[in-house]
Amino acid sequence: MKRVVFNQKGGVGKTSISCNLASSFAALGRKTLVVDLDAQANASSYLLGDRLQSCEATVSDFFASTLSFRLFKDSLLNTICPSPYENLFVIPADDALKELQPKLEGRYKIFKLAEAIEATAEKLGFEEVIFDTPPALNFYSMSALMAVDAVLIPFDCDAFSADAIAKVREAVEEVVEDHRPNLILEGIIINHFMATARLPTELIEKLESENLPILKPYLSSSVVMRESHSAGVPLPFFKKSHKLTKEFLALASMLSPKPSKTGKKAKKKGATRSRRNRKDQAPSKQASL
C-alpha cells in the first residue's frame, strides 16, 4: 500500500506521524519504505541518523535525472538507504530539492515519481510505502499524490487545522477527478489528543458530523515524542511499552491488510481433512505390521 501523510498546515506532526507509522509497520514485520520529499530532510535525519551521510544518492538525484535522458524505471534503486531498523528503508531528501523545483515544474515531470516508485516497490517487495511531504501543495506533494493509493491527513485538534482539512480534500478530489480515480482519503489521524480537554472532542465531533473517516486510536499528546526526536530513534524502537508507541502500533495494525477469512476456513478444512486421512490410514498401517 502506498500512502502519503499530507497537510498544508505546518506543525501538525506530519513528519512524526510518517516516520513512526512507517516504523510501526516495520516493527510489525512489513517491509516498509519512507520517501522523504521535504527539503528540510527531517524524516531522513530521524530515521537514518549518522547513516544519512553515507547514502550514495537522494531523491534530489532522482528528480535531477528526470531532467535528462538518464531516467529509467528502476532509477530510484540507488537512492534507497537501509535504516538501522529491520524492515525499514528510506529514500532521503536534501535541500537541493528547492533549487530543482522550478525546473521540474517547467518540464512537466509530475508523473515520473509515480512510475519509478511503482517499479521499485514491485521489484524490491515493499509492502508499505509512506511519503513525507512539505507542508505546501507544491510540485513534490503533488508528485506524491500522483504516486499513492491513499491519503492520511494529520489533525492536531486545532481550529486552524480543521480549516486546512478542507483544502487537502479539495486537492485530493482534483487529483481523483483528473488523474487517479482510485485515490482515496483513507482517514484523518488525530494527533496531540488530550482526552480531558473540551476543544479536541468538539472539533472531532464536528469532523464526524461531516462524515469524514476518523481513524482510531487517537495519538496522545506526550513529551516522549520530543525525546524520541532528540534521541534520533523512532518510538517503536525507543520506548516500546509507552502509551503513544502502542497507539502507533495499533494504528499500523489497523491499516495493515487482514488475512482473508476464506483462507482461514480453507486452512481449517485442509487440517481437518488431513487429520481424517491420518485416522483412515492408521488401521491399514497396523494391519501391515
Spatial distance between the Cα atoms of 176 and 184, rounded to a whole number of angstroms: 8
Q: Which helix (H) or strand (E) holds 114?
A: helix 112-124
CATH superfamily of 2-258: P-loop containing nucleotide triphosphate hydrolases (3.40.50.300)
Spatial distance between the Cα atoms of 216 and 213, rounded to a whole number of angstroms: 10
For residue range 110-139, what is the model confidence (pLDDT) as tens digits?
999 999 999 999 999 999 999 999 999 999
The percentage of the chain sitting over the pLDDT mark of 70, rounded to a whole number, equals 87
Q: Of 64-78, 234-248, 260-274, which has the strongest mean pLDDT?
A: 234-248
pLDDT for 140: 96
Q: Domain coordinates of the chain in residue numbers?
A: 2-258, 263-289
Spatial distance between the Cα atoms of 169 and 217, rounded to a whole number of angstroms: 22
pLDDT for 227: 97
Chain position carrying cell 481433512: 273
User: DSSP character for 242?
Assistant: S
Using the predicted structure, report yes or no on whether residue 276 has a pLDDT greater than 70.
no
Which one, of 80, 69, 75, lies nearest residue 107 by Cα?
69
What's the mean pLDDT in 165-171? 91
Q: Report residue 95 as a C-alpha cell.
A: 535541500
pLDDT for 287: 30
Q: Report residue 55 as a C-alpha cell.
A: 547514502
